[in-house]
Amino acid sequence: MVTKMPIAMQNSMQAIQASTMNIAPEFNKIIADGKQQLIALDKAQPPAK
């Protein structure tokens, strides 16, 4: 699909895709860390009466 676009649009799309691919692993790590923190917090709290 990108190859059918004008060259300026191709370059923009490729730059956006490249930057997004670099950011995705960081977001996944943040999400995993947050999930672990929530699980630990849930285990640390006593059950409700």
Please, what is the Cα angle at 34 between 19 and 41, to 5 degrees? 175
**pLDDT, tens digit (0-9, with 9 covering 90-100), for 33-46:** 999 999 999 888 87
**Which of the two residues, 31 and 4, has the higher pLDDT score?**
31
**Rounded CA separation 2/6 (Å):** 9
Question: Predicted confidence band at 4 (pLDDT cuts at 50, 70, 90)?
Answer: low
- pTM of this structure: 0.52
